[in-house]
Structure 1
Amino acid sequence: MSTAAAPPPGRPRDRVVSGPATERAVNVLAPNPSAMTLDGTNTWILSEPGAREAVVVDPGPPDEGHLRAVVDTAGRAGKRIVLTLLTHGHADHSGGAARFAELTRTPVRALDPRQRLGGEGLTSGEVIEVGGLELRVVGAPGHTADSLCFHLPADRAVLTGDTVLGRGTTMVAHPDGRLGDYLDSLRRLRSLTVDDGVRTVLPGHGPVLEDAQGAVEFYLAHRAHRLAQVETAVEAGHRTAPEVVAHVYADVDRRLWPAAELSVLAQLEYLTEHGLI
């Protein structure tokens, strides 16, 4: 889920991808567009070229047509889905997981035990290998406590779920999500771009981003800017989260204010913990 808004000047350029996004990643877009989900949820099919086995990341909402479209897309490419992974437990990413497991007869692996179906958990730093494909699990709490990213080193890409979106910015879903954790996760992603050569962001919503480092730097700068705005708003006498949202997010679509309020609660908590308000 996002708190998407029109990107300010300096936002990295992106491209809309429907179908193949990299050599190993194919996107199937779920038909659940909204202010919170942008164009819809991106379901990713990952496989090594020439291999018959595939992994699916985030089957999406419980939409039968979409779930079957994912299976059919893999099948037309000669792929058999053998594993399902979740970036986190929000229903627009995981709501269809149980039905998808029935359709594909695959286990569903996730960080949160409540989201797992016939499979093991996931741990940060773990390497998953399927049909020659290598996928590295990256812990990314912040948007939610159970958020993960998946590093696809062969394509110099990272699947970010809701941690980094293809358009706009994401919310920190307080109280489950925490701003300090989220900032640490963004710095972890920045290290992937600097130290591991990651160039491409394959997000949970919105278009593919070709400048991964620029995208992460933008998110870090945006968070610092919003945090400063919230601190200033509190100093000006706006004490409650709704008051701060109305002051700081006045330029954001009001439909997104409930999500913005969660982020503000996380920001207020962060400022309080660090003795800044």
Structure 2
Amino acid sequence: MNAQPLPGNPRAGIGGPASARVTCLLAPNPSAMSLDGTNTWIVAEPGADTAVVIDPGPDDEGHLRAIVAAVEAEGRRVGRILLTHGHPDHSAGVAGLKALTNAVVHSVDPQWRYGGEGLTDGQVIDDGGLDLRVLVTPGHSGDSVCFVVAQDRFVITGDTVLGRGTTVVAHPDGRLGDYLDSLRRLRALAESGEITAVLPAHGPILDDAAGVLDFYLAHRAARLAQVEAAVAAGDTTAEEVVRRVYADVDRDVWWAAEMSVRAQLEYLAERADA
């Protein structure tokens, strides 16, 4: 939610190749929430004639045409478009890219599929020998997913994990219990060595997946304890909690912090009732 650095060694710069299979194009939509802009990830197995595009980003004609040009420069066409989730800075360009490429669109939320299919946990996209695995990871939003590039041990995280700072739990669609479960699941994959680097939708690549996920889990636990203490001190509304707990966060994003606080208050109430 803010832009503090995360553990590990962020790769210099944003955009460009991450490996022989994965390339990033940075969309021109910087903001307090999207940081430098949305990272559109292009994934293709070397030698394949099709590519997968993850998160086309905003409805910006120049960016969408740059995606097509980057794919065609490698002698490929866009075969599939995937969404990590449906927030506009990730999804608004789907219709335009679909019109340019006639590619199949996959997402958890049916409204973004444009005739394509859904995404299910454990599903493998194997176009041209690719091994791209779907992880359903709700929490930031109800429809959030991550994608594991198995050969490179990368995880493309959307907004579940950012390249700088921490993400919002976008209540009421996003739920804290789901988000914690998703972070723990990703941490287990890092522990097993199945993922080593985080490729976020905003900010740089992070080469220490385990360290970043440990940081995220510790941060969420600390914030939850602060919210619990604020309630014990007499705060009764999300707005009051934000003023006390998120004083270190830029006021321009307090509206987002309020969503996270509502998710935390709901989580605490559910835990009290259990």
Q: Taking structure 2 as the reference length, what is the TM-score of the superposition?
A: 0.97
Partner-residue secondary structure (3-state), 2:51: strand
Aligned equivalent of 1:259: 256
How far does the alpha carbon of each residue in 1:238-266 deviate from its partner, in whole angstroms, 9 at most, with x for none?
11001000100101100110000000000
Q: Name the % identity.
A: 62
Aligned equivalent of 1:134: 131
- Is 1:26 equivalent to 2:10 in the alignment? no
Aligned equivalent of 1:238: 235
Partner-residue secondary structure (3-state), 1:208: coil
Aligned equivalent of 1:6: 4
Aligned equivalent of 1:88: 85
Question: Do the aligned residues in 2 keep the contact of 1:5 with 1:253 (CA within 8 Å)?
Answer: no
1:147 Cα deviation after fit? 0.3
Correspondence for 2:70 among 61, 69, 73: 73
Question: Do the aligned residues in 2 keep the contact of 1:150 with 1:160 (CA within 8 Å)?
Answer: yes
Equivalent position amino acid for 1:5 in 2:
A
How far does the alpha carbon of each residue in 1:145-197 deviate from its partner, in whole angstroms, 9 at most, with x for none?
00000011100100000000000000000000000000000011111112243
Question: Do the aligned residues in 2 keep the contact of 1:23 with 1:155 (CA within 8 Å)?
Answer: no
Matched residues in 1 for 2:204 and 2:87: separation?
Answer: 19
Aligned equivalent of 1:165: 162
Question: Do the aligned residues in 2 keep the contact of 1:5 with 1:252 (CA within 8 Å)?
Answer: no
Matched residues in 1 for 2:198 and 2:209: separation?
Answer: 5
Q: Taking structure 1 as the reference length, what is the TM-score of the superposition?
A: 0.96
Question: Do the aligned residues in 2 keep the contact of 1:108 with 1:116 (CA within 8 Å)?
Answer: yes
1:14 Cα deviation after fit? 0.9
Aligned equivalent of 1:62: 59
Matched residues in 2 for 1:124 and 1:4: separation?
Answer: 30
Matched residues in 1 for 2:239 and 2:253: separation?
Answer: 12
Cα RMSD of the aligned pairs, angstroms, is 1.1
1:55 Cα deviation after fit? 0.4
Matched residues in 2 for 1:196 and 1:83: separation?
Answer: 27
Equivalent position amino acid for 2:220 in 1:
R
Question: Do the aligned residues in 1 keep the contact of 2:7 with 2:208 (CA within 8 Å)?
Answer: no
How far does the alpha carbon of each residue in 1:43-86 deviate from its partner, in whole angstroms, 9 at most, with x for none?
00000112221100000110000000111111112221110000
Question: Which region of structure 1 is more displaced relative to structure 2, 124-133 or 28-37?
Answer: 124-133
How far does the alpha carbon of each residue in 1:82-115 deviate from its partner, in whole angstroms, 9 at most, with x for none?
1000000000000010110010110110011111
Partner-residue secondary structure (3-state), 1:265: helix
Partner-residue secondary structure (3-state), 2:132: strand
Partner-residue secondary structure (3-state), 2:241: helix
Question: Do the aligned residues in 1 keep the contact of 2:14 with 2:26 (CA within 8 Å)?
Answer: no
Matched residues in 1 for 2:3 and 2:160: separation?
Answer: 16
Long gaps (5+) in structure 1: none
- Is 1:199 equivalent to 2:170 in the alignment? no
Matched residues in 2 for 1:5 and 1:43: separation?
Answer: 20
Where do residues 179-194 of structure 1 align in structure 2 (5 Å cutoff)?
Answer: 179-194=176-191
Correspondence for 1:50 among 47, 50, 54: 47
Matched residues in 1 for 2:183 and 2:89: separation?
Answer: 22
Structure 1 runs of 4+ off > 3 angstroms?
A: none
Aligned equivalent of 1:147: 144
Equivalent position amino acid for 2:226 in 1:
Q
Partner-residue secondary structure (3-state), 1:193: helix
